[in-house]
A and B are shown apart, each in its own frame.
Chain A
Amino acid sequence: MQGWKEKYTSYIKKQQPGPPKAPETEVLGHSLADNLEHLQALLGSNGDFVARDFLLFGKYEAVMIFFSSLVNQEQIQEHILKPLMARPDDHQGVPENLDGIIHYVWKIAVQVTQGNSERKLSCLPPAIVKGNLVLLIDGVPEALLLDMRQIDLRSVDQPQTEQVIRGPREGYVEKLENNLALLRYRLQSTDLRVEISPLGSRTRSRVALCYLDSIADPQLVAEAMRRISIIDTDGIIDAGYIEQFIEDQPLSPFPQVQNTERPDKTVAALLEGRVAILVDGSPFALIIPALFNQFFQTVDDYTERFIMGSLIRIIRLIALASSLFFPALYVSVISFNPELMPTDFAVAISGGRAGVPFPAVLEVLIMEVSMEVLREATIRLPQMIGGALSIVGVLVIGQAAVAAGLASPITVVIVALTTIGSFATPAYNAAIALRMLRFPLILLAGMFGLYGVMIGTILIINHLLFLDSFGVPYMSPFIPGKWRDWKDALVRVPLWWMRRRPSFLHVRDSARLPRAVPDVYEDQILQQGGEAGERYPSDHDAANGRRNR
């Protein structure tokens, strides 16, 4: 209590016409005390601010300044403090005067990998905030900056939002260096370019733009840089902040920037010629351009064998469509076009609905909204309670609603199917777009029946067709598209058949497989896999392959 009171008074005092700010150009003085005072004025009062004074080599007054929360104190002790506080006898070459002392300290005394010297006073605070250690020596108008940054991190973990059956288990963490390391570890190519620059006038979050120089379309890279460069905000807390600044159509419900927690997915995107954006402090990478196919493509499609991958992709697409259209179709069939049902089923359904007091629109809306509430509630809860709640919720909403005459059993089935369908969509932000779009569709169905659903669908599809993501039409490779891009659209053909990168990304180098690879795989299929061992590239095959093309 007492401590906070003191802080309060000093804080209030500081809010009054503040101390003179050090001009931008002010350089360090010779007096250590002056320098220290200036520095403290710039940084303000901080609980984790440390200014450790000691005798350099036993004879010069010196101070180390750092934030204890940002640096590795053990290493400071071991590699900086220990050699610097050693007695002069250990340092035979210590210069006699102060002129060469900084040089000597950097070259011989400290054992630190990164650092530099600085004369400007105004440059010191940002460095300290970043995690540097500043060494000031009395009588020397120069400071030594040593990078001692260390932030404790959670370990690399399984990504929470994108689980896969088969594929790497690593996900991004918060620290940029680690994330870049995860990328570089998978993509050991000299082509990988990482442009890093801070963003946000206050947070100074470092933002990294990654692309493969020999593949990515220069226009795309330039456009991405342009859009990032015009961001002018005080803080970038997460990659999501950047997404909202650079997307094409902020009013669209569909995400035009893909985000992922998976380094392997990022690498795959880079290899296709896309651009990835990572932000320090965010475990998500942004991938641009993002197209409609993000709604139904996952990593599993590629790691699993191609037939299964394709089939599951189609199933996902069905789930997608059902999560969007099912309730609306149900409403319009029930209240507008009952002739579409087989007669005996129609008679039975009207029996099931006989006790329900609401029109079908209202009934479905109530059920859908409560389902959304339930979903939202389970996400925010700790996992153990969440599981319990979802069971209770399903029981209550399903059984009791029917028993109480709030909803008909068929409605419950429909709502359940819709919800399950929406969970089959791989990307959360994409799924939520469709989930929200089904509400206007239900309303339209309630007004105009099937015609309303159709009008709503036309509006949605038109919007999708009009949408662009970084100059790439959102619905490519479907519209517009080349046939060869269909190899990785609704289905995924074998990897060895996808010889070229997607054309809609306008890559510099579109060859995925070298052009001269013989068609051994096709031959194998034609031969029902016989004698595969012998048929690996011989000159004859290579010639064949070339001729076939």
Chain B
Amino acid sequence: MNATRQITTLRTAAVIGSTIIGVGILSFPRYMAATGGSSAPFVAFSGIVISIACFWLLASLCRRFPRESLFVFSRRLIGKPLSFVFAVLILLIFVLLTGLTARQFGDVATTVLFKKTPIEATVFLMLLICQLSSRRDVIKFTYIHFFYLPLIIGPILFITLISMRNMDLLNLQPVLVMPSAAFWRGAVEASFLFQSSFIIVLLVPFMQKPKQAVRAGVLAIAVAGIIYLLIVVAAIGLFGSEETKLLIYPTLESARSAAVGEGFLERLDAIFIVLWVISVFTTLYSTYYLAACLLQQVFAFRDQRISSTLILPFTFVMAAFPANVFETYTWSLALGAASMILLSVYLFLLWSMYLIRRPRKRGAA
């Protein structure tokens, strides 16, 4: 029983995959349709490629320090003060991300499921179970993701397969489009969704084979990417790109149009929303857990129990901040861009320091 290195590659992939698939699935086709029209799947695909590239940069660096987490070895690479600043910034980003994700979830739940239930209640309940679950160690954290992943992918595949019957392939043509400014904007926006693959930095020190971190992440992004692609294909194929642009939650609408056995089981959207709660939970859980671990490292707490409790009010306040649905979306897009920039600067610094220092080490040896 090797106590520390227990996480298999497959489980790492599951964690990243279930983290990526989150609130975004509901509105994702709309963004893609708005930027790509009928070739929205192509836009989404480019976004996936971009995010795989970003992930490769991150994971292959982590892979070189298999025993330490990112924040430990960054202290050695770029010095304590600078790495502290970055840790605090990333912590802020993940607290914000958790809050905004919870808010988006609350918005959907209030619009579709509960008209009268205060959004605070739904959001708080969600954050509370994240907090309660964040008190456990990383091994158990991966168990949760591994268990829920089939429950996340299953319903989505089911809904898409049902929608396939009523799909019109004409809606998806032409498939390819000449990349334009809007195209790239859409692709980058799509890659925002995959940012939470950052969770890998927590897992590497606990992996059985840290060398396979990149492989696990790429597998996860590929699987999650296929899921996202399927969603886009289903929505565009079912509604056409013009109608998809009109719908605020196109994926939900495709669940609403689906019926099993000619109306025997209709209105699958309620069931879909409920199962979607799981995927929101896993995403929130990851970002929450990451934030709690960061806080623990920044303030050098003994474990993340106390930090997970400390974060709860902040995320809750963040969730309550945006004034309306549109603001939530602009904020989360802005946050995506901000974290993209921050992470690339951080990675650039780390990589350059690593490359500068490496030859010297070799010379010394």
Contact = CB atoms under 8 A, between A and B. Distances in A.
Interface in A43-86: none
Given A453-B274, A455-B126, 15 more contacts: A337-B113, A340-B271, A448-B121, A448-B122, A451-B113, A454-B278, A455-B129, A455-B277, A465-B143, A465-B144, A478-B147, A479-B146, A480-B6, A480-B8, A480-B11
Most buried by A among B147, B264, B271: B147
A458 interface: yes
The 10 closest A-B pairs by CB, nearest first: A450-B274, A339-B267, A465-B143, A454-B277, A337-B270, A479-B147, A479-B143, A454-B274, A462-B133, A466-B140
A478 B122 CA distance: 30
B278 A448 contact: no
A448 B6 CA distance: 37
A145 interface: no
Contacts of B121: 448
Interface in B168-211: none
A161 interface: no
Contacts, number: 76
A340 B140 contact: no
27 contacts: A337-B113, A342-B265, A448-B114, A448-B117, A448-B122, A449-B113, A449-B114, A450-B113, A450-B273, A451-B277, A454-B274, A455-B125, A455-B129, A458-B129, A458-B281, A459-B129, A459-B132, A461-B147, A462-B129, A465-B140, A466-B143, A473-B143, A475-B143, A478-B147, A479-B147, A480-B11, A480-B146
Contacts of A465: 140, 143-144, 147
Nearest to B137: A466
Contacts of A473: 143
Nearest to A480: B143
Contacts of A471: 1
Contacts of A149: none
B15 to A, nearest CB: 12
A340 B8 CA distance: 40
Interface of A: 219, 336-337, 339-340, 342, 448-451, 453-455, 458-459, 461-462, 465-466, 471, 473, 475, 478-480, 506
Interface of B: 1, 6, 8, 11, 109, 113-114, 117, 121-122, 125-126, 129, 132-133, 136, 140, 143-144, 146-148, 263-267, 270-271, 273-275, 277-278, 281
A90 to B, nearest CB: 66
Contacts of B132: 459, 462
Nearest to A217: B1
A342 B263 contact: yes
Contacts of B277: 451, 454-455, 458
A453 B273 CA distance: 12
A9 B270 CA distance: 77
B270 A450 contact: yes
A342 B266 contact: yes
Contacts of B144: 462, 465
A427 to B, nearest CB: 22
Contacts of A466: 133, 136, 140, 143
A480 B142 CA distance: 9
A451 B117 CA distance: 11
Contacts of B271: 340, 450
A368 B9 CA distance: 45
Contacts of B275: 454
Contacts of B140: 465-466
B147 A475 contact: yes
A458 B278 contact: yes
B69 to A, nearest CB: 21
Contact of B114 (A451, A455, A458, A478): A451
Contacts of A336: 113
B147 A448 contact: no
Contact of A219 (B1, B129, B148, B265): B1
A451 B122 contact: yes
B109 A451 contact: yes
B264 A342 contact: yes
Most buried by B among A453, A461, A465: A465
Contacts of B11: 480
Contacts of B133: 462, 466
A329 to B, nearest CB: 10
Contacts of A462: 129, 132-133, 144
A506 B129 CA distance: 33
B28 to A, nearest CB: 22
Contacts of B136: 466
Contacts of B273: 450-451
A219 B136 CA distance: 23
B267 A340 contact: yes
Most buried by A among B136, B265, B274, B277: B274
Given A455-B129, A465-B143, A465-B144, A340 B270 contact: yes
B104 to A, nearest CB: 15
A448 B125 contact: yes
Contacts of A451: 109, 113-114, 122, 273-274, 277
A503 to B, nearest CB: 12
B310 to A, nearest CB: 21
Contacts of B6: 480
Nearest to A337: B270
A258 to B, nearest CB: 21
B118 to A, nearest CB: 12
Given A449-B113, A454-B277, A339 B270 contact: yes
Contacts of A219: 1
A453 B278 CA distance: 12
A310 B8 CA distance: 29
A465 B145 CA distance: 10
Contacts of A450: 113, 270-271, 273-274
A266 to B, nearest CB: 25
A474 to B, nearest CB: 10
A454 to B, nearest CB: 5
Nearest to A464: B147
A471 B6 CA distance: 13
B199 to A, nearest CB: 17
B17 to A, nearest CB: 15
Contacts of A458: 129, 277-278, 281
Nearest to A467: B140
Contacts of A475: 143, 147
Most buried by B among A453, A471, A479: A479
A400 B195 CA distance: 60
Contacts of A455: 125-126, 129, 277
A462 B145 CA distance: 10
A454 B109 CA distance: 13
A461 B8 CA distance: 21
A453 to B, nearest CB: 8
